[in-house]
Amino acid sequence: MKRTVTRLADGRELIYFDRHDDADRGAVDTRELPPRPHASELRHDPVMDEWVAVAGHRQTRTFLPPADECPLCPSAPGRQSEIPSPEYDVVVFENRFPSFSFDLGRYEQAGGLSEVRPGVGRCEVVCFTSEHDSSFSALSPDQVELVLTAWADRTAKLGELPGVEQVFCFENRGAEIGITLHHPHGQIYAYPYVTPRTRQMLASAERYRERTGGSLFADVLAAERKAETRVVASNDYWTAFVPAAARWPYEVHLYLNRQVPDLCSLDAEERAAFAPIYTDLLRRFDGLFGRPMPYIAAWHQAPVHTGRDLAYLHLQLFSIRRAPEKLKYLAGSESAMGAFVNDVLPEEAARQLREQDGR
């Protein structure tokens, strides 16, 4: 694997990950780009004890351009994109419209009880393939392993940046989810705080350990493997199951069969075994209604500095589609109260997914 670091015209970092050492990455970005925006504001909600990023510059980000203007495709004669090279395997670069960055501006207190500070951190885009009309489910096993390598590399490097507390790798897929670019890609957020969901999970794991002496995540996995009714797929290294209290109509958690804190901790066998089971799951999702399934794929891994002995690396895959022509909207109960009501019985969702052909 070859790793090449370069810079875009406005100074943003771009990293090529190539399968072959002879890849030529000498192409230069000659575009005239506007100055990079300042970092967002972070405002603390004292009632919920949560941080909210306010990033007004993101209103101007690129929105669903035609295929021949896609900024994530390789550059071509007469058309330069975010990737200067005329071809690539996997590319990671700093987002042009970031929610967090180190380009600091002036920040003033908002008044009231809300503390305000700069949204220090970093946001990156991960291009899974140069093929515009492809998808993650269509990637070859070695291409998926290269994406895993990029995720692990960025998890390690971003975790070393000052002020970063958590690294989150994820993919949004489908217009229904709210994507702004159709090209197969994901994102990585390096947060300056530990996110509310992770704080809650680690607090639950700590209480469970104090009460039982065991690992909450490991015991959940063991119970699901024993019950079998919600297991969708498994191999020697990974197990995919619908959680018993699934919030989303179709939701699968993919657990490594041993406890590790993050993507950097995967060994060669575990990386190789991930591609077949994950792409199988994605194809099962697409097969449910005979059409591409909108989904969010979210890696849950340990924060940089805290809870690393409690965390358990796993991937959460879920869709808002509940029927062929129906979506689950987060209306009153979910949005206002955080109290989910699922439309599909988890055991039924698992059965439907098992019956799909993921090949």
The answer to whether residues 178 and 253 belong to one domain is no
The answer to whether residues 145 and 284 belong to one domain is no
**Which of residues 193, 210, 234 is at a domain's end?**
193
- Residues 305 and 17: their CA atoms lie apart, in Å, by 27
Q: What pLDDT score was predicted for residue 297? A: 98
Q: What pLDDT score was predicted for residue 111? A: 80
Strand partners, 300: 314
Tens-level pLDDT at each residue, the chain (359 residues): 999 999 999 999 999 999 999 999 999 999 999 999 999 999 999 999 999 999 988 888 888 899 999 999 999 999 999 999 999 999 999 999 999 999 988 777 778 899 999 999 999 999 999 999 999 999 999 999 999 999 999 999 999 999 999 999 999 999 999 999 999 999 999 999 999 999 999 999 999 999 999 999 999 999 999 999 999 999 999 999 999 999 999 999 999 999 999 999 999 999 999 999 999 999 999 999 999 999 999 999 999 999 999 999 999 999 999 999 999 999 999 999 999 999 999 999 999 999 998 67
pTM: 0.97
The per-residue pLDDT for range 128-165, each reduced to its tens digit, is 999 999 999 999 999 999 999 999 999 999 999 999 99
The answer to whether residues 235 and 208 belong to one domain is yes
Query: How many folded domains does the chain comprise?
Result: 2
The answer to whether residues 13 and 155 belong to one domain is yes
Length of the chain: 359
The answer to whether residues 256 and 121 belong to one domain is no
The answer to whether residues 290 and 146 belong to one domain is no
The answer to whether residues 232 and 121 belong to one domain is no
Q: What pLDDT score was predicted for residue 56? A: 85
- Residues 19 and 201: their CA atoms lie apart, in Å, by 36
Give the position of tokens 């949560």.
50
Q: Which two structure tokens, joined as six digits, stand for 154?
A: 């960025």
The per-residue pLDDT for range 239-284, each reduced to its tens digit, is 999 999 999 999 999 999 999 999 999 999 999 999 999 999 999 9
The answer to whether residues 201 and 348 belong to one domain is yes
Q: Strand 231-234 to strand 122-127: parallel, antiparallel, or no bridges (unpaired)?
A: unpaired
Neighbours of 298 (CB within 10 A): 17
Q: Which domain holds residue 210?
A: 197-355
Q: What are phi and psi of 318, to 5 degrees?
A: -150, 155
Q: Which two structure tokens, joined as six digits, stand for 341?
A: 């009501």
Q: Strand 116-118 to strand 41-45: parallel, antiparallel, or no bridges (unpaired)?
A: antiparallel
Strand partners, 252: 317
Q: What pLDDT score was predicted for residue 124? A: 98
**Which of residues 166, 193, 220 is at a domain's end?**
193
The answer to whether residues 301 and 343 belong to one domain is yes
The answer to whether residues 157 and 9 belong to one domain is yes
CATH code of 329's domain: 3.30.428.10
- Residues 243 and 346: their CA atoms lie apart, in Å, by 7
The answer to whether residues 16 and 118 belong to one domain is yes
* Identity at 49, one-letter amino acid code: D
Identify whether the C-beta of residue 221 lies closer than 8 Å to the C-beta of residue 237: no
Catalytic machinery residues:
185
The answer to whether residues 212 and 330 belong to one domain is yes
